[in-house]
A and B are shown apart, each in its own frame.
Chain A
Amino acid sequence: MKRKLTEKILMTLLWLCTLGTVAALFLILGYVLIQGLPHISLRFLTTSYAPGLGLEGIWAMIIGTLLLMGLTLVIAVPAGIFAAIYLSEYAKPSRFLSVLRFSIECLAGIPSILYGLFGFTFFVVFLKLQFSLISGALTLAIMILPLLIRTTEEALQSVPVSFREGSLALGANQLVTLFRIVLPSAIPGILTAVILSMGRIIGETAAVYYTAGTVPQVPLTASESTRSLAVHLYFLAKEGLDQGQAFASATILIIIIAALNLAAQGTANILNRRLTGK
C-alpha cells in the first residue's frame, strides 16, 4: 500500500514539474504578448527613436540589430564551419585535440557579461575600434563560435559513414568527398546551426551593450555605434518610463525568436528525413 502511494506521489510530481515548465513558458509569452501586441503599430516599427521629439519608434534598433547580426554571421559562420570540418573529418585523438575541445567548452560557458568586458577592453579600447558595429560583431562572433562549431559538427557526424565510403570507393579523394558528398548532405544541419546563432545574437544584451554601444541610430558604416533591440528593451525596462514601448519591444523580440526556433526545427527535420531516407 505504502509503495503504491509513493509511486502515485512520484508520478504526480513528474506530471506537475513538466506542466510547471510548460506553464512558465506560456505565462511569460502570454503576459508579454497580451500587453505588447496592442502597442505595436506600423509607426512604432518604422519611425526613429528621439523621445525629446516625440519619436518612439524602433526602426533604428531593428536595422541596427539586423546589421549586427549580418556582420557577426559573415565573420563567424565560415570560421565555425571550417573548424567543425576539421574536428569532425580530420582531427585524430591527441592531447592537442582535447585542449581544443576544452577551449570550445570553456568559450561556451563564459558568461556574456565577460564577453562584454573582453570586447570592451580588447576591441573597443586596445584595437581602438570604439563603440561600433564592428566591435560588437567581432565580440559576438567569438561568443557564437562554440554553438556554431558544435551544431555543425553534429550535422557532419550524422552523415552516414557509408556515404563517405561510397565516394572514396569510387576514387574520389577526401577533399572531393567532403565538398561533394558530406557537406551537401549536412547543409540543413549547418543551416540549423546558423539559425540558432541568429537567435543568440538577437537576444544578446550584455556583450552588445559594452561593445556596439547604445546610440539609437542606423549605423552608416561599421565603425559607428548602434543600439540593438535587446539593449533597447534593457534601457526601457531600467528607466521604467514607458512600459508600453518596453512590452512592444519585448513582443517583437519574442516573435523573432519564436520564428527562428520554428525555422531551426524545420531544418533539423529536413536533415533527419534526408539522412534516414524517409
Chain B
Amino acid sequence: MKNRRPVGMEPIAHRAKLFWILLTLAIYGFLLGSMTYFLTPFTRVWCYIAAPMTVIMLYLVLYYLPALHQSMCYLLDDRQLLVQGGIFSHKKQVMNREQILYVSVIKTPAYYLLGTCTLLVQAAGARIVLGWLPRRRADALLCRLSEREEGTL
C-alpha cells in the first residue's frame, strides 16, 4: 500500500482503524445474518444481494479504511498546526498557533478500552479535531498547544 503520509508528519487515528474494521465486519455479519434469516441462502436473490455487499465490505476492510487512517496525520511547529487526511476528499487544515484560544480534551469509553482520546483545538470561528490520539501523544500535544505541564491527562 502506498504510504500517504508525508515525511515529518505524525499519524493520528491509527488505533481507530482496528475499531472501524471490526465495526464494519460486525455490521456485515449482522446484515448477512438477517438476510439469511429472511431469505433462503445461496438462492439467486440471496446471491444478488450478498455478492455486492461482500465486495463493498472487502473494499472497506482491505483498502479504504487502512488507507484513510494512514493518510490522517498532523504537524505542529512554532508557527502553525497542520492536519491533513482523506481519500476521496483530501483536506489540509491549517491553524496559526497564535490564533488558538484554548484546547479541550474529550475522553469517551474508548479512552479506557483503547487508550485514546480526542483533542479539540479552538480558534475564533474555527476548530480542528484530532481524534483517536494515543494518550501519551495527546498529553504531549496538549502541553505544546496550551503550554501546560506534562501529565495533565
The answer to whether A and B belong to the same complex is no
Residues of B within 8 A of A (CB): none
Could you list which residues of chain A lie within 8 angstroms of chain B, going by C-beta atoms?
none
